[in-house]
Amino acid sequence: MTAPAAPPPVLEMVQVRVALPPGSDRPHALEALDLTVRAGETVCLVGESGSGKSLAAGAIMRLLPEPQVRMTGGTVRFDGTDLATLSEPAMRALRGNRMAMVFQEPMTALNPQKTVGWQIDEVLRLHTDLPRRARRARVLEMLEQVRIPDPASAINAHPHQISGGQRQRVMIAMALALKPRLLIADEPTTALDVTTQLAILRLIRELQRDQGTGILFITHDFGVVAEIADRVAVLRHGVLVEKGPAAEVLNRPRHAYTRALVAAVPALRPPAPRDFTESPVVLRAEAMRKTFAARGGFLSGRRKAVVAVDDVSFDLRRGETLGIVGESGSGKTTVSRCITRLLEADGGRVTLDGRDILSADARTLRAMRADIQMIFQDPQASLNPRKRVVDLIAQGPMVHGMPRAQAHARARQLLELVELSPAAADRYPHEFSGGQRQRIGIARALALEPKVIVADEPVSALDVSVQAQVLRLLADLRERLELSMVFVTHDLRVAAQLCDRIAVMEKGRVVETGPTAALFAAPTHPYTRALLSSIPGRDWSPPDTRHDAA
Amino acid sequence: MTILLYAIRRLVQAVPVVLLIMVGTFLLLHLAPGDIVDALVGDMGGADAAYIARLRAEYGLDEPVWVQLWIYMGKLLTFDFGWSFVHEQPVSVILFDRLGTTLLLMITSLSFAFSIGVALGAIAARRAYSLTDNIISTLGLIFYATPSFFLGLMFIVLFSVKLGWFPVGGVQTIGSFYTGWDRVIDIARHLVLPTASLSLIFLAFYLRLMRATVLEVAELDFVRTARAKGAAEGRLMIHHIMRNALLPVVTLFGLQFSTLLGGAVVVETIFSLPGLGQLAYQAVTQRDMNVLMGIVFLSSILVVVVNFLVDLLYARIDARIELT
């Protein structure tokens, strides 16, 4: 911050070293980590998965999964006290009281059997002597502060009865109930929609300003960093490679790794528009509808019918990429499932090269499936772990009648096409990293030489640097194979990279469609505008440090 | 109000279930060779064919199976279970005479198995892979692998015959005419061995399941959240882990109730307890159809009721489930 005399440090980590169990990919999860967080300051700890950033939080709270993972060196000082000298009860008295934590998954971070009020109240019960009435008043006050609608009734709600964003607000209320000196936020907004994310980030900032809390914000998302950070520390394989003021690190990264990370953040500059008016329409959806019926079962008696897709129409031309963007529950995934007929639509027409998919009988459909293939979000869950890669890829062609030897030869060629070594063919999916697995998923989709690829959040589960590589691969394959693509994503930055046109969905309807550049420059629908203005770090553009030879 | 509606709906759903069980059992029993007349004549040491035919006609056994079924179901709907020609008493009287003993055995066995199993499982999970855990888990494995009839016989050999601590069988000391607390203590002493041999295998089920779910729940995110709030281990265990770990155990509890009824047959026979299980065994050997059908009816009602109660309990302890 710009204060003349820097406020005292709340947290000082000096040469902290955390050991991993023998047989891990490296001996130390963290090596000689130095980090300081001052009162009222937000320090972002940035790193990709496996960089050890979450274990840093564990080391501070003394909540590492000991004895397998433990601190073997260095000191953590909290308000000047060396935490290693404290007894376990003294440490417990600090946790939730002077230092608090917010976790990534609001879905699972709250006890499903206890009310929201009980769980916030637990913090007060553990750390104060307040009588019941005063505690209740404080809980209500906190719920109000994190702006949960109708606190008096929310206090009695169970976690499953409120939305993901509200659950994260409850987590924050719980963490800040006793005005801690230090708040550790471990990817608190990663699982949320963009609009909710922005609201939560603003809330954290605001409460910080009121309470002067020091925040250690752990994230992998440079957009979020640009949004919230005062200072940034970049972690790679447990080693701190760069730290400094946010503006410095974001705009003039010094270390090669930081530069690569920043360069991998998709810029919000859509590519030059390409002209497809001459190309034939490959896939056409007309007035597609899908309603998930109301259920009267034992467990879901009160569920109302949900209109997931309402009157959706679009054209996809050869070589074109159509992005379908929207928040969770907008129906974008349902659209992708309906056009591939993994789900049966209730109405409308979808034609592939003029042939109707929705009314095709089983035999025709199977033949048509060769022309329209899917890439799924979770490459881990969508590859059969018991099959070798070559079999996974060759399976499709063999089902469609290709002889085994030929299908296997083709699979090996495809692996090369997606930039994997041919040796990968004989291994099993679990031996690969997330990015490599997604390449296998792409190779599998390409095996049948489809005309259309439907990709459902294909890069959402990947780290930014890997994400950039996979996006580049998809763009490259699209050109070479003249593929048309339906690209479903919640991430507008990703959509801006790859899509020629974008359809914005809200509550099952397409509210706006247009060429990417035009849509980004001048959104007309209020929802599109809200989405665009919620992109974290939208005012920051990653500096172009990349000298792309390819 | 919702609970009342729910109960009525469940009751209505239960009727066809019980009817189906009764029809199925009736037909199955008629498929088996031999009937009450064969058993009676066998006891008498034989009789001529005309007498046998007359006896059959008297009992209504000469009618076609469908007619017999029709008559039986008609009577059942008025809760008339018929007459036992072996016991020379109405079936309902015999059943209610015996029901108490069986219920007592089942309730003590289940509560013992559930409470001790859950407690041991939780302790084993908290000290996972330690000596305590190893001892508890090994014991569990032994109980799990030992059939209840073998366990019962061995208990009799050890505790009744060699050590003389507990009576060999029966539900109370014959000819003692105890009253008040003396009687209660006497019955309790008689029930120790049957309860132990019936419940240990179920105790092992609960123990193993509880240990596994506690280990699983302890890894969940909300437990980490509670730890980050500064909660101590005891609090974590009671409020956050146990509450969630109990859910699958309660499910198993409901599922196993019917198995327990089956186990009661064996145990009651071994310990000569005058309960439904022993009665069922006798009824089968004596071809006492009416008693057997009565027992099946009572058992199916019991299982339906217990499952209903378990569902209510489940909705009570799992906040995510609403009765509709």
Beta bridge partners of A314: A285
B317–A113: do the CB atoms touch at under 8 Å? yes
B chain contacts of residue A93, beta-carbon cutoff 8 Å: 230
pLDDT given at position B135: 92
Cα separation, B273 vs B185, whole angstroms: 16
Q: What is the pLDDT of residue A136?
A: 93
Q: How many residues does chain B have?
A: 324
Domain-wise residue ranges, chain B:
2-91, 96-317
pLDDT of residue A545: 52
| CA-based nearest residue in chain B for residue A303 | B324
Name residues whose C-beta falls within 8 Å of residue A270's C-beta, 6 or more positions apart in sequence: A496, A497, A499, A516, A517, A520
**B31-47 tens-digit pLDDT:** 877 777 777 777 777 77
* pLDDT tens digits, A348-368: 889 988 888 888 888 888 888
Q: Residues near B31 by Cβ (< 8 Å), separated by ≥ 6?
A: none
Q: Looking at per-residue confidence, does B254 or A235 come out higher?
A: A235
Q: Can you read off the two tokens belonging to residue A369?
A: 């499936």
Indicate the angle between helix axes A194-211 and A164-176, nearest 10 degrees.
10
Residues listed for chain A: 550
A299 confidence band (pLDDT: 50, 70, 90): very low
Contacts across the A-B interface (CB distance below 8 Å): 81
The interface residues of chain B toward chain A in range 192-221, judged by CB-CB distance below 8 A, are 220-221
Residues A329-357: what's their mean pLDDT? 88
C-alpha–C-alpha distance, residues A526 and A147, integer Å: 23
Quick check: B224 and A126 CB within 8 A? no
Q: Which of A113, A142, A161, A303 to probe by mutation at the B interface, max B CB count within 10 Å?
A: A113
Q: What is the mean pLDDT of residues A519-537?
A: 89
Beta strands at A281-292 and A306-317: parallel, antiparallel or unpaired? antiparallel
Task: Tell me the chain B residues in contact with residue A60 when contact means C-beta distances shorter than 8 Å.
Answer: none
Q: State the smallest CA–CA distance between residue B241 and chain A in angstroms.
A: 9
Reduce the secondary structure of B76-143 to three states and give it as a string: HHCCCCCEECCCCEEHHHHHHHHHHHHHHHHHHHHHHHHHHHHHHHHHHHHCCCCHHHHHHHHHHHHH
To the nearest whole angstrom, how far is the Cα of B221 from the nearest Cα of chain A? 5
Mean pLDDT of chain A: 86
A252: pLDDT strictly greater than 60:
yes
Please name the member of A92, A96, A108 whose beta carbon is closest to the beta carbon of B220: A108
Nearest chain B Cα distance for residue A104, angstroms: 9
| ipTM of the complex as predicted | 0.76
The CA-based dihedral angle spanning residues B103, B104, B108, B111, taken in that order and rounded to the nearest 10 degrees: 40
Contacts of A101 in chain B (CB under 8 A): 225, 228
Predicted local distance difference test score (pLDDT) of residue B38: 78
Assign B12 a pLDDT band (cuts: 50, 70, 90). Answer: confident
* B228·A158 Cβ contact <8 A: no
d(CA A418, CA A442): 7
Beta strands A306-317 and A231-236 are unpaired
Residue B264 and residue A291: Cα distance in Å, rounded?
51
Dump the DSSP string for A86-117: S-HHHHHHHBTTTEEEE-S-TTTSS-TTS-HH
A164-176 and A132-145 are packed helices; what angle lies between their axes, rounded to 10 degrees?
A: 130
Q: Do B230 and A96 touch (CB under 8 A)?
A: yes
pLDDT band at residue A301, thresholds of 50, 70 and 90?
A: very low
CB contact under 8 A, A123 and B230: yes
The rounded distance, in Å, linking the Cα atoms of B116 and B134 is: 17
For residue B250, what are its two tokens? Answer: 């309660």
SS (H, E, C) chain B: CHHHHHHHHHHHHHHHHHHHHHHHHHHHHHHCCCCHHHHHHHHHCCCCHHHHHHHHHHHCCCCCHHHHHHHHHHHHHCCCCCEECCCCEEHHHHHHHHHHHHHHHHHHHHHHHHHHHHHHHHHHHHCCCCHHHHHHHHHHHHHHHCCHHHHHHHHHHHHHHHCCCCCCCCCCCCCCCCCHHHHHHHHHHHHHHHHHHHHHHHHHHHHHHHHHHHHHHHCCHHHHHHHHCCCCHHHHHHHHHHHHHHHHHHHHHHHHHHHHHHHHHHHHHHCCCCCHHHHHHHHHHCCCHHHHHHHHHHHHHHHHHHHHHHHHHHHHHCCCCCCC
User: Is some CB atom of chain A closer than 8 A to the CB atom of B321?
Assistant: yes
Beta-carbon separation of A101 and B232 below 8 A: no
Q: Residues A177-220: pLDDT tens digits?
A: 888 999 999 888 877 788 888 888 888 888 888 888 999 999 88
According to the model, what pLDDT value does residue B255 have? 81
Q: Is the pLDDT at B210 greater than 90, yes or no? A: yes
- Closest approach of chain B CAs to the CA of A180, in angstroms? 11
Mean pLDDT to the nearest integer, A405-409: 92
Query: Any idea which of A273-282, A298-307, A430-439, B265-274 has the lowest mean pLDDT?
Result: A298-307
| Contact (CB<8Å) A112/B222 | yes
Question: Which of A14-23, A60-69, A332-341, A541-550 is least confident?
Answer: A541-550
Per-residue model confidence (pLDDT) at position A295: 54
CATH code of the domain made up of B96-317? 1.10.3720.10
> If pLDDT is split at 50, 70 and 90, which confidence band does A510 have?
very high
The crossing angle, in degrees rounded to 10, of helices B65-77 and B289-317 is 50
Q: What is the mean pLDDT of residues A534-541?
A: 82
> Whose CA is closest to A284, among A356, A366, A336, A347?
A356
Q: Distance between CA atoms of A110 and A97, rounded to whole angstroms?
A: 18
Does the pLDDT value for residue B269 go beyond 90?
A: no
Amino acid at A211: Q
Q: Whose structure tokens read 């496996």?
A: A50
Smallest Cβ–Cβ distance between A95 and the set B228, B317, B324 belongs to B228
pLDDT at residue B1 above 70?
A: no
Of all residues in chain A, the percent with pLDDT exceeding 90 is: 26
B240 touches chain A (CB under 8 A): yes
Which residues in chain B are closer than 8 Å to A109, comparing Cβ atoms? Answer: 221-222, 224-225
Mean pLDDT of A141-158: 86
Contact B319 A112 (CB under 8 A): yes
- Residues on chain A touching B232 (C-beta within 8 angstroms): 89, 92
Residue A501: phi and psi, rounded to 5, are: -130, 155
Assign A176 a pLDDT band (cuts: 50, 70, 90): confident
Tell whether B5 is within 8 A of chain A (Cβ).
no
Give the nearest partner residue to A298 out of B239, B318, B324, using CB atoms. B324
CB within 8 Å of B157: residues ≥ 6 apart: none
Helical packing angle, B65-77 and B2-31, nearest 10°:
150
Concatenated DSSP letters for A465-492? HHHHHHHHHHHHHHHHHT-EEEEEES-H
Give the per-residue pLDDT at A107.
77
Q: Which two tokens stand for residue A91?
A: 């440490």
Q: Is B320 on the interface with A (CB under 8 A)?
A: yes
What average pLDDT does the segment A159-171 reach?
Answer: 85
**pLDDT score at B172:** 75
For residue A304, the model assigns a pLDDT of 62
Residue A109: CA count within 13 A, CB half-sphere = 27
State the average pLDDT over residues A438-467.
88
Question: Of A126 and B58, which is predicted with more confidence?
Answer: A126
pLDDT at residue number A550: 34
Ramachandran angles phi, psi of B257, nearest 5°: -60, -40
Nearest CA in chain A to B240: A111
Are A288 and A311 contacting, i.e. CB atoms less than 8 angstroms apart?
yes
pTM of the model: 0.78
Distance, in Å, from the CA atom of B211 to the CA atom of A286, rounded to the nearest integer, reads 55
Residue predicted with more confidence, A429 or B85: A429
Query: How far away is chain A from the Cα of B324, in angstroms, using its nearest Cα?
Result: 6
Q: Quick one: pLDDT band at residue A452, thresholds 50, 70, 90?
A: very high
Measure B72 CA to nearest chain A CA, in Å: 34
Q: Band of the pLDDT at A297, cuts 50, 70, 90? A: very low
CB-nearest to B227 from A63, A97, A110 is A63
Distance CA A183, CA A95 (A): 10
Indicate yes or no: CB of A100 within 8 angstroms of CB of B232: no
Choose, out of B2, B229, B318, the residue to mutate when testing the contact with A (most A CBs < 10 Å). B229
Question: Which residues in A237-375 belong to E strands, given as ranges?
Answer: 239-245, 281-292, 306-317, 321-325, 347-352, 355-356, 372-375
Helix axis angle, A164-176 to A116-127, nearest 10° = 10
Say if CB A419 and CB A473 are below 8 A apart.
yes
pLDDT at A323: 93
CB-CB neighbors (< 8 A) of B233 in chain A:
none
CA-based nearest residue in chain B for residue A103: B225
Determine if the peptide bond prior to A67 is cis (ω within 30°): yes
Chain A residues inside the 8 Å CB shell of B235? 126
Of B191, B157, B159, which Cα lies nearest the Cα of B172? B191
Cβ contact, residue pair B224, A109, below 8 Å: yes
pLDDT at A430 over 50: yes
